[in-house]
Amino acid sequence: MPDHTELSAALFDRASAVTPGGVNSPVRAFRAVGGTPRFMASGDGCHITDVDGNTYVDLVCSWGPMLLGHAHPEVTAAVQAAVSRGTSYGTPTQPEVELGEEIVARTPVDKVRLVSSGTEATMSALRLARGATGRAKIVKFAGCYHGHVDALLAQAGSGVITLGIPGTPGVTEATTADTIVLPYNDQAAVTEAFAQYGDQIAAVITEASPGNMGVVPPLGNFNAFLARTCKDNGALFISDEVMTGFRITRSGWYGVDGVVPDLMTFGKVMGGGFPAAAFGGRADLMSQLAPEGSVYQAGTLSGNPIATTAGLTTLRLATDEVYAKLDETANTLQRLAATALDKEGVPYVIQNAGNLFSVFFVESSEGTGQIRDFAGAGAQVLPRFAAFFHAMLDAGVYLPPSAFEAWFVSAAIDDDALAKVETALASAARAAAAVEN
């Protein structure tokens, strides 16, 4: 159990005086679970240590990027060498070329443009889709989160659902008027939308396998259906792999279902813990970007040499053996969680997409099937998750502070860490069991 949190509490007070909510990304504030956000001071392998000296097994992994664990020596050495040469030039550099080549080699995209965040990647992909098709409307799915792009915040997942925000002030009706929000995994709804608006739809965008309403994989051939429907109607299919890209497999979710989209977005792992993201696609589409084409997109720090060096080194170290270890660890954790919750009689559903997984705290185990959409994900006993989260935290395991996020593993998790998590799960299951529906 953490000995104290005084320094985190003091920092949170100071942060709250100068930063809205005391954080620079909303879920970090612990609003959904209560308590004091932990301010981290360092990370090493599968552990993170807060400013009070409390150490945790990390199952957030910076929300995905730390595939290899924290402060991996080869990544750190490559970054230190890059920093010693300079941090930014405002010119092209070799690492960004090599990172682009690595992404193209691992995925079906012909060309890729580097940016600095997943939000920027999806925003740019939408602009390109509209520019290429000459159409305005976008189809997205409830519960899928594509960054804080104005047009895509309607019924979004991640922090939006975590904080219970149905929409957001500052996004005008005109901005979202061309956004069609449909239930996820619902082919009939997609068919109906295209029947009504087919010649106006520029693109369908979806998380390749959603993880921002909890892990809710596509059912059957849903992605293939989307790609085919878009092609038949002259629209573009955009697969958002910011979360799954290079984490699920070396080729992301594309390595699982093999569906080739027109455009893709990437982030997280490809930055190795630094701000880096990308979007890419067919050569004929990407050629419509400036300076080749007329669809404008730019970024002062895009392709930053430090970020691209970290990402390139991470991807090169992400071997088949690493992915096998990630899958094995994730499978073990799911089994341990199920065992602990079963012992205490806590109703739950565990779902995974490769090594990403979520534990859904449902009202009753009777008749509970697969969580297949936003509505199903939202029907959780949130106080039960909060109790579970804090028991895990007290036992030295750091989970995502939201019931609507995936658990992330790293290749650095060893047997000692797994044993610590197993012990924590036993106490957390008891805490969850004590909470009434």
Q: Point out the residues that are catalytic.
A: 145, 240, 268
- CA-CA distance, 189 to 222, in Å (whole number)? 12
Residue 323 · residue 214 · CB < 8 Å: no
Greatest distance between any 2 Cα atoms in the chain: 61
Taking each continuous run of H as one helix and of E as one strand, the counts in the chain are: 15, 13
Instruction: Quote the strand ranges of 199-295, DSSP E.
Output: 201-207, 236-241, 263-266, 277-281
Task: Outline where 19-177 has alpha helix (H).
Answer: 73-85, 94-106, 118-133, 159-162, 173-176
Phi and psi based region of residue 263 (left: phi greater than 0; alpha: psi -120 to 50; beta: remaining): beta
- Compute how many other C-beta atoms are within 10 angstroms of the C-beta atom of residue 80: 11
- CA-CA distance, 279 to 309, in Å (whole number)? 18
In DSSP terms, 398 is beta-bridged to 58
Bond preceding residue 108 cis, omega within 30 of 0: no
Strand (E) or helix (H) holding 317: helix 305-317
Nearest to 430 by CA among 379, 395, 378: 395
DSSP 82-98: HHHH-S--SS--HHHHH
Location of structure tokens 């569906």: 259
- Compute how many other C-beta atoms are within 10 angstroms of the C-beta atom of residue 307: 27
The two tokens of residue 20 are 């809205």
- CA-CA distance, 135 to 133, in Å (whole number)? 5
Strand (E) or helix (H) holding 181: strand 179-182
Nearest to 436 by CA among 337, 346, 343, 360: 346
